[in-house]
Amino acid sequence: MKSPDNEKEFVRQFLAEETGARPEASTTRESETEQLRQGLHDFEQWARDATERSDEFWQHQLAAIRSRMPVQSAGMFGGSMQAWAILAALVIVAISLLTVAPAPAPAPAAAQVDVDHELLLAVERDMRSEVPTALQPATLLAQEINDGMQSHAANSHSTKEKAHED
């Protein structure tokens, strides 16, 4: 084997010896790789040229975009008249609702309810009402019990007073 003159030749010979391939196949593969690299380089250059635009192009684009945008007249403080009209209508509606609506009635002071007193009043009303004939014996019995309790309470009260006097 003769010594190679340059580095590419050395690599070509080394690959041919290792793989058992012929040097001609290696050169064909290298030429295909070189063509692919050149094609990629050409594509890269074409893509850059296609995307790079002059200032004139961009000014034309800006003018076209602005011509398609709706023109808004600058009203008070730079806003549109429609927005100010809506705002004014909302303010008028809010003021009219505040002035027309009646003031809420003051809440009545919460009265302290004595449950025992309410029960006593209900019992008194029932006692004054007319009792059906069938329940009259029960009414008599209730009155006797009530009288007995009152007399018993009076006796115990007088007994306590006597005990204090001694």
The predicted pLDDT at position 91 comes to: 92
The predicted pLDDT at position 1 comes to: 47
What are the structural domain ranges in the chain? 115-165
Please name which of 15, 45, 43 lies closest in space to residue 28, comparing C-alpha atoms. Answer: 15
The predicted pLDDT at position 110 comes to: 55
The predicted pLDDT at position 153 comes to: 74
Question: Distance (Å, rounded) from C-alpha 6 to C-alpha 12?
Answer: 10
Asked if residue 16 lies in contact with residue 23, where contact means CB atoms within 8 angstroms, the answer is yes
1: Cβ–Cβ under 8 A, 6 or more apart, which residues? Answer: 13, 17
Phi/psi of residue 111, nearest 5 degrees: -80, 140
The predicted pLDDT at position 20 comes to: 56
Residue for token digits 């000014």? 59
pLDDT tens by residue, the chain, 166 residues: 455 566 777 677 766 665 555 556 567 888 888 888 888 889 888 888 877 888 888 899 899 998 998 876 555 555 578 888 899 999 999 888 888 767 667 766 556 678 888 888 888 887 777 767 777 777 778 888 888 888 877 777 666 666 666 5
Asked if residue 75 lies in contact with residue 81, where contact means CB atoms within 8 angstroms, the answer is yes
Q: Distance from CA of residue 4 to its chain's centroid?
A: 77
Asked if residue 22 lies in contact with residue 16, where contact means CB atoms within 8 angstroms, the answer is yes
Asked if residue 131 lies in contact with residue 139, where contact means CB atoms within 8 angstroms, the answer is yes
pTM, 2 dp: 0.22
Q: Residue 100 is which amino acid?
A: V
3-state secondary structure (DSSP) of residue 163: helix
Question: Distance (Å, rounded) from C-alpha 99 to C-alpha 101?
Answer: 6
114: Cβ–Cβ under 8 A, 6 or more apart, which residues? Answer: none
